[in-house]
Structure 1
Amino acid sequence: MSNDPKIPAQHQDKMPADEHAMTPAPDYTPRHPGVGKLKGKVALVTGGDSGIGRAVSVLFAREGAKVAIAYLEESEDARETKRLVEEEGSEALLIEGDLAKKANCEAAVQKTVDAFGQLDILINNAAQQYVDEDFDKLDEDLLRQMMDANVMSYMFCTQAALPHLKEGAAIVNTTSVNAFKGNDTLITYSTTRGASLAFSRSMASNLAPRGIRVNAVAPGPIWTPFIPGSLPEEDVEGFGSGSKMGRAGQPWEVATAFLFLASSDGSYFTGQTLHPNGGMIVGA
């Protein structure tokens, strides 16, 4: 990984951005043969069309899970992720819709259960990010949009999933290194990720008596559509080179943390956070 090519300047005027338009393409490919860690399981992955969500979907499929992929509107990326899941010998269901709306979260869960007969793993990963260093000028509608996408969708999807989750089920929420260290140019995003962290810890305590584990993953600088979709072109060039490892992380390097927490490997983990961040030391 030390020989990864430098990321060139680029920008996309949409959020979420498109993975198929990124240079170089993010690396989602699992590195090891599957051993059936999720055999017989069904997972719903929000934001599963690209980035970390795609890597999680493909890895879960390799480990035997059937995967429902919920996404906002990135149909080309979603179709490719479905193809990759099926290439692993599993089944995929595409579910398009805005998860900031409770009804769409309920529909996504119901479609998953209707298609596969059960739900065992919920991955709350869908989110949006915008630069907002001039916080006093931040548009109210944009602020509420990020709160709805990054916080309310996690709550709505969890509410919808709970009636279907049995003892032994797992919920894994995406948070961020920014929830721990803060970020002066991503104020609202960092705040929403702090909320997803607190939500994970609170729900872990709430659901422990039911045998449902809830954990979080806090990625650092990872090469996903978030980056060209939110940062200025000049800031994307060389993205991640300032990390302790001297490079951006790749989605596959984050997906392994989700697999650990979602599988029986993480059976004694609840209310915890894993930190694939390239060496940043933060409070746990």
Structure 2
Amino acid sequence: MDHPRPPFPEQSQDLPGYTEQMQPVPDHGEDSYRGSGRLAGLTALVTGADSGIGRAVALAYAREGADVAVSFLSESAEADRTRHLIEDAGQRALLLPGDIQSAEHCRDIVARTADQFGRLDVLVNNAAHQMQYDTFEDIPDEEWELTFRINIFSMFYLSKAAVPLMKQGGSIINTASVNADMPNPGLLAYASTKGAIQNFSAGLAQSLGPRGIRVNCVAPGPVWTPLIPATLPAESVANFGANYPMGRPAQPAELASAYVMLADPASSYTSGATIAVTGGKPFI
């Protein structure tokens, strides 16, 4: 498949960013992903599933036979589009708007997922926040705290609520980043949380191993999602991903197979792993 390559049109958006306003519009696998029943009968909760990687994962999970709960910040056409993709695949969708900075909200959406679907097999902690700053001193205290609350505190709250509801074979999949090992200084708060996510995942995998619950990470390189024009300067967006070996960013659809593999019961001995999806750039 021929994927879009930079330079892209210079563009910027307000947070959280909107898929249909991007040039080019991201590919989530709408026309390409074909399921084969790998997740038949399972249920999943995916955060940040209204757009980007989360939407691609939700679509792939549904086409593999899973029911999917869609966690997202606020009501918008973005989440409705994800719901339609899930339902068009013949699976049940549950929309769960709200702010995962709140421990109470995290506990609520886990409980609602289990109540609606009768079980919880897979938790994908994918929602994230980033903002670029030129210097360390430019980072406001509030921005540092916000990034940690969304990116890592929520992961603790959601996982803690989900684990008691999971049976043996359950799977927690956390979105890390190449920034975990190769931090971009302009994204210092974000990169710091991604390092924390990788450590959290490795430790939790050891803790939950005796209970038969697996914990893994996916570490993407540059991915073409609404977060990019909403958080980076327009000139950086125009050349986003050009410095990677493949000369372009990933489309969200290109991440989905890693999340499917980690959720698949056939991957029953894969835990504590980080799957790097980096377009050829080494992940050390």
The TM-score normalised by the length of structure 2 is 0.96
- Which amino acid counterpart does residue 18 of structure 2 have in structure 1? D
1:124 maps to what in 2? Answer: 125
Secondary structure (helix, strand or coil) at the match of 1:198 reads helix
1:43 maps to what in 2? Answer: 44
Q: Label 1:258 to 1:65 Cα distance change in 2 as closer, same or farther (>3 A).
A: same
- Which amino acid counterpart does residue 80 of structure 2 have in structure 1? R
2:166 maps to what in 1? Answer: 165
Q: Does the aligned pair in 2 maintain the 1:132–1:188 contact within 8 Å?
A: no
Secondary structure (helix, strand or coil) at the match of 2:46 reads strand
1:22 maps to what in 2? Answer: 22
Quick one: percent identity of the two aligned structures? 44
2:225 maps to what in 1? Answer: 224
User: What residue ranges of structure 1 are gaps of 5+ in the alignment?
Assistant: none
Q: Post-superposition shift, 1:52?
A: 0.1
Q: Post-superposition shift, 1:32?
A: 4.4
Q: Does the aligned pair in 1 maintain the 2:61–2:260 contact within 8 Å?
A: yes
User: What residue ranges of structure 2 are gaps of 5+ in the alignment?
Assistant: none
Q: Does the aligned pair in 1 maintain the 2:173–2:218 contact within 8 Å?
A: yes
Higher deviation after alignment, 110-119 or 23-32:
23-32
Matched, 1:4 2:28: no
Q: How many pairs align?
A: 282
- Distance, in Å, in 1 between the alignment partners of 2:177 and 2:48 is 15
- Distance, in Å, in 1 between the alignment partners of 2:55 and 2:282 is 27
Alignment of 1:143-162 (within 5 A): 143-162=144-163
Q: Post-superposition shift, 1:8?
A: 1.4
1:180 maps to what in 2? Answer: 181
Q: Post-superposition shift, 1:186?
A: 0.6
- Distance, in Å, in 1 between the alignment partners of 2:142 and 2:77 is 27
Q: Label 1:87 to 1:212 Cα distance change in 2 as closer, same or farther (>3 A).
A: same
- Distance, in Å, in 2 between the alignment partners of 1:200 and 1:170 is 11
Q: Does the aligned pair in 2 maintain the 1:41–1:65 contact within 8 Å?
A: yes
- Which amino acid counterpart does residue 155 of structure 2 have in structure 1? Y
- Which amino acid counterpart does residue 200 of structure 1 have in structure 2? S
- Which amino acid counterpart does residue 246 of structure 1 have in structure 2? G
Q: Label 1:201 to 1:3 Cα distance change in 2 as closer, same or farther (>3 A).
A: closer
Alignment of 1:56-135 (within 5 A): 56-73=57-74, 75-135=76-136
Q: Post-superposition shift, 1:89?
A: 1.1
- Distance, in Å, in 2 between the alignment partners of 1:74 and 1:243 is 35
Q: Label 1:170 to 1:3 Cα distance change in 2 as closer, same or farther (>3 A).
A: closer
Q: Does the aligned pair in 2 maintain the 1:2–1:247 contact within 8 Å?
A: no
The TM-score normalised by the length of structure 1 is 0.96
RMSD: 1.2
Alignment of 1:241-252 (within 5 A): 241-252=242-253
- Distance, in Å, in 2 between the alignment partners of 1:86 and 1:115 is 15
Q: Post-superposition shift, 1:243?
A: 1.0
- Which amino acid counterpart does residue 252 of structure 1 have in structure 2? A
